[in-house]
Structure 1
Amino acid sequence: MIIKAVNGKFPSIPQDCFVAENATIVGDVVLGTECSVWFNAVIRGDVHFIKIGNKVNIQDGAIIHCTYQKHPTVIGNNVSIGHNAIVHGCTLHDNVLIGMGAIIMDNCIINSNSIIAAGAVVTQNTIVESGSIYAGVPAKKVKDIDQSDFAGEIGRISNNYVMYASWFRE
């Protein structure tokens, strides 16, 4: 794994996090507890800060970055960022699923209990409504989420990734 300082700022990674050996985390990055950063994922806090909550999984090939002196990236708790997704200079609130290959652009806000579908492109300055699914290019709201089903599902995914990470520590 590559974990290195940039401009005197070193990533903060709790002991209970899993970081794959070929993941990269640099600069002003703070991870919460029980996070996992999977193979070939990159978290690059070189031009602004990146703050990541608890039980966040950043899956294989995902890229987390920010916008120079304008937009940090802030990620809440129980967030799943799918394989090869790009999250750039935006805010993801708690209990959010970002689908595989989705792109979240600068200054977007993804409110809690929401899903961004695989392959969706959430264009700059978009505010995603809480409790909704956005899909397409550009991403638009396609439906509301049944919150009773969703709450259990997001918790299950977050807990599964904590379990998967434990397999690599054995």
Structure 2
Amino acid sequence: MACYSFEGVVPVVDPTAYVHPTAVLIGDVIVGPGCYVGPCASLRGDFGQVVLEAGANVQDGCVLHSFPGAQVLVEADGHIGHGAVLHGCVVRRDAMVGIKAVVMDGVEIGEQAMVAACAFVAAGTKVPPRSLVAGMPAQVKRQLTDEDVARKHQGTLLYQELARRCAASCRPADPLASVEPGRRRRK
């Protein structure tokens, strides 16, 4: 990972977390136990703090940042989809922000809530727990069922396992010139 101290503040990464080598961590960033931070994610703690609590995942190409003195907080088991942007907001325990969603300053995503892919959650919005929000601007569409919450949680568990697998086996490699005979496929 590219890790930079900023004005004497150095990012903290728990030894059980996995941060991809192309991710960038700057300044006041805290990555908790069992977290996964994917390729090309940018966690900028140069103005405000960025905190990922235990088991949270921030997938490929995400940006987490805030205004001076503010914080981005992703609580335990938070799930941030590919390319999402979080700016000065809180994602409560076991909540999900979908692919390419934008979550603005002062937003609170309630516990076990879901933000749909490509949604825009306007500054100051409070998303109720266990609800689905979608649209531009995002609005509550419905309450989540136990099955919805369980399905989301299974996805989060997959990323927690991926953090362990990547720590154990993800290494730089030169590409092969051709497909080798009997090439193994991931299941």
Could you tell me the TM-score, scaled by structure 1's length? 0.95
Spell out the pairing of 1:128-139 with structure 2 (5 A cutoff). 128-139=127-138
- Describe the SS at the equivalent of 1:101: coil
1:57 aligns to what?
57
What is the Cα deviation at residue 28 of structure 1? 0.5
Spell out the pairing of 1:155-170 with structure 2 (5 A cutoff). 155-168=153-166, 169-170=168-169
Letter in 1 for 2:140: K
2:118 aligns to what?
119
What is the Cα deviation at residue 154 of structure 1? 3.1
Indicate if the aligned counterparts of 1:113 and 1:150 stay in contact, CA closer than 8 A: no
Indicate if the aligned counterparts of 2:34 and 2:164 stay in contact, CA closer than 8 A: no
Structure label with greater radius of gyration: 2
Q: Distance in 1 between matches of 2:103 and 2:112?
A: 16
Letter in 1 for 2:60: D
Indicate if the aligned counterparts of 2:16 and 2:164 stay in contact, CA closer than 8 A: no
Answer yes or no: is 1:95 the counterpart of 2:94. yes
1:154 aligns to what?
152
Q: Distance in 2 between matches of 1:155 and 1:118?
A: 17
What is the Cα deviation at residue 123 of structure 1? 0.4
What is the Cα deviation at residue 75 of structure 1? 1.3
Q: Percent identity?
A: 27
Letter in 1 for 2:56: V
Letter in 2 for 1:75: V
Letter in 1 for 2:129: S
* Superimposed CA distance per residue, residues 54-93 of structure 1 (whole angstroms, 9 cap, x where no aligned partner): 1111000001111113x21111111110000000101111
Q: Distance in 1 between matches of 2:148 and 2:8?
A: 41
1:36 aligns to what?
36
Q: Distance in 1 between matches of 2:29 and 2:129?
A: 26
Letter in 2 for 1:17: A
Q: Distance in 1 between matches of 2:3 and 2:130?
A: 35
1:108 aligns to what?
107
Q: Distance in 2 between matches of 1:17 and 1:32?
A: 7
What is the Cα deviation at residue 50 of structure 1? 1.4
Indicate if the aligned counterparts of 1:52 and 1:76 stay in contact, CA closer than 8 A: yes
- What CA RMSD, in Å, does the superposition of the two structures yield over aligned residues? 1.1
What is the Cα deviation at residue 31 of structure 1? 1.4
- Describe the SS at the equivalent of 2:50: strand
What is the Cα deviation at residue 32 of structure 1? 1.3
Letter in 2 for 1:150: D
Letter in 2 for 1:12: V
- Describe the SS at the equivalent of 1:3: strand
